[in-house]
């Protein structure tokens, strides 16, 4: 398939057993747009149906993924409540697809992975990152809510750390992400893709059936609870967009000024 916002490549040296998906909007720091969500879902479908046994997800240029696209953010201001719900559902579908993908998925984080980009990077089975990479659940800074990713973060690092990361909205480096368990391995920039490929080869050497069933076993342990919590997160994500603080946060962010919060 041809994709507008990413590239999809099979490794011929490994007989197509490795697929690499590269988010390819470097001029936008690989920001998430509705089109990118559609492309990523389609690329993962292609990888699942095809010969690939392992998938690497990375970004073109200096960023992995900077979060939501500015044009998409501007569009939020004029959406109806039903459209907000549909938008939150698209995000849920993307994140859950990455989390529950039946084949091993490796994130090679080459630079900033902010907000939704942090979600994409850390929901993969393995997250390799360069020391220069940055992470952050920054939604509260613009009056938004990290609703969808909170469902997964709570299970990854526990409630106390989730509170710290999401309430502070702080940007943190790859070393801290590694200490928290969100990053599997720190890798020099020049070795990132080589290391990801080496990891992929070690996974390819294992039984694909065993890998798929192991992933299924892990998912099954909390699948119902995750689905329940995601449904609640979609509701909360849509509800906050009704608030004055969301409108002010969005407007101030786009206008590059300090927000004047209303507290409602």
Establish if 15 belongs to a structural domain.
Answer: yes
Tell whether 60 is covered by a domain.
Answer: yes
- Reported pTM: 0.96
Q: Residue 249: what pLDDT?
A: 92
Mean pLDDT of 62-69: 96
Q: Is the pLDDT of residue 107 over 90?
A: yes
pLDDT given at position 77:
79
Question: What is the tens place of the pLDDT at every residue in 126-168?
Answer: 999 999 999 999 999 999 999 999 999 999 999 999 999 999 9
Per-residue pLDDT at 187 exceeds 90: yes
Q: What is residue 5's predicted lDDT score, i.e. its pLDDT?
A: 98
Q: How far apart are CA 93 and CA 38, in angstroms?
A: 10
Does the pLDDT of residue 70 top 90, yes or no? no
Written in H, E and C, the secondary structure of the chain is: CCCCCEEEEECHHHCCCEEEEEECCHHHCCCECHHHHHHHHHHHHHHHHCCCCEEEEEECCCEEECCECHHHHHHHCCCCHHHHHHHHHHHHHHHHHHHHCCCCEEEEECCEEECHHHHHHHCCCEEEECCCCEEECCHHHHCCCCHHHHHHHHHHHCHHHHHHHHHHCCEEEHHHHHHHCCCCEECCHHHHHHHHHHHHHHHHCCCHHHHHHHHHHHHHCCHHHHHHHHHHHHHHHHHHCCCHHHHHHHHHHHHCCCCCCCCC
Asked if residue 194 is part of any domain, the answer here is no
Is the pLDDT assigned to residue 71 strictly greater than 90? no
CB neighbours of residue 245 within 10 Å = 18
Q: Is the pLDDT of residue 56 over 90?
A: yes
Q: Does residue 262 form part of some domain?
A: no
The strands making up 6-10's β-sheet, listed across from edge to edge, are: 6-10, 18-23, 54-59, 105-109, 126-129, 185-186
C-alpha of 36 from chain center: 12
Per-residue pLDDT tens for 203-252? 999 999 999 999 999 999 999 999 999 999 999 999 999 999 999 999 99
Range 89-111 average pLDDT: 97
Question: Residue 139 is part of a domain; what is its CATH number?
Answer: 3.90.226.10
Mean pLDDT of 22-40: 97
d(CA 230, CA 232): 5
Pick the residue with more confidence: 71 or 226? Answer: 226
- Is-contact 110 128, C-beta < 8 A? no
Question: What is residue 264's predicted lDDT score, i.e. its pLDDT?
Answer: 86
Where b means 16+ CB within 10 Å and e means fewer, 134-165 reads bbbbbbebbbbbbbbbbbbbeeebeeeebeeb
Instruction: Please report whether residue 249 resides in a domain.
Output: no
- For position 37, what pLDDT does the model report? 98
Q: CB 80: neighbour CB atoms within 10 A?
A: 8
Flag whether 143 is in a domain: yes
Q: Which residues are catalytic?
A: 139
Domain that holds residue 172: 6-189
Q: Which pLDDT does position 72 carry in this prediction?
A: 86
**Averaged pLDDT for residues 189-214:** 98
The pLDDT, as a whole number, for residue 76 is 85
Report if residue 116 sits inside a domain: yes
**What is the average pLDDT value for the chain, to the nearest integer?**
96
- Mean per-residue pLDDT, 65-84: 89
**102 falls within a domain:** yes
Count of domains for the chain: 1
Specify the pLDDT at position 73.
Answer: 83
pLDDT band at 25 (very low <50, low <70, confident <90, very high): very high
Q: Answer whether residue 191 shows pLDDT above 90.
A: yes
Task: Quote the CA–CA distance of 125 and 45 in Å, as a whole number.
Answer: 17
């Amino acid at each position: 398939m041809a994709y507008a916002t990413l590239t999809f490549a099979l490794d011929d040296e490994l007989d197509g057993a490795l697929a690499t998906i590269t988010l390819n909007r470097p001029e936008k720091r690989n920001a998430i747009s509705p089109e990118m969500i559609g492309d990523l879902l389609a690329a993962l479908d292609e990888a699942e149906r095809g010969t690939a046994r392992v998938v690497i997800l990375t970004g073109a240029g200096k960023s992995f993924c900077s979060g939501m696209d500015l044009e998409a953010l501007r569009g939020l201001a004029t959406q109806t409540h039903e459209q907000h719900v549909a938008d939150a559902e698209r995000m849920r579908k993307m994140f859950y697809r990455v989390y529950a993908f039946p084949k091993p998925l490796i994130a090679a984080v080459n630079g900033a992975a902010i907000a939704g980009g942090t979600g994409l990077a850390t929901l993969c089975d393995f997250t390799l990152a360069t020391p220069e990479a940055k992470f952050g659940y920054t939604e509260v800074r613009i009056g938004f809510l990290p609703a969808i990713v909170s469902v997964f973060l709570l299970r990854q690092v526990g409630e106390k750390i989730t509170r710290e990361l999401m309430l502070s909205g702080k940007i943190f480096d790859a070393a801290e992400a590694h200490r928290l368990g969100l990053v599997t391995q720190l890798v020099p920039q020049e070795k990132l893709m080589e290391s990801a490929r080496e990891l992929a080869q070690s996974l390819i050497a294992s039984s694909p059936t065993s890998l798929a069933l192991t992933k299924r076993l892990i998912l099954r342990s909390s699948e119902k609870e995750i689905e329940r919590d995601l449904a609640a997160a979609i509701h909360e994500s849509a509800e906050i967009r009704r608030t004055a603080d969301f409108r002010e946060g969005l407007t101030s962010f786009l206008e590059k000024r300090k927000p004047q919060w209303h507290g409602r």
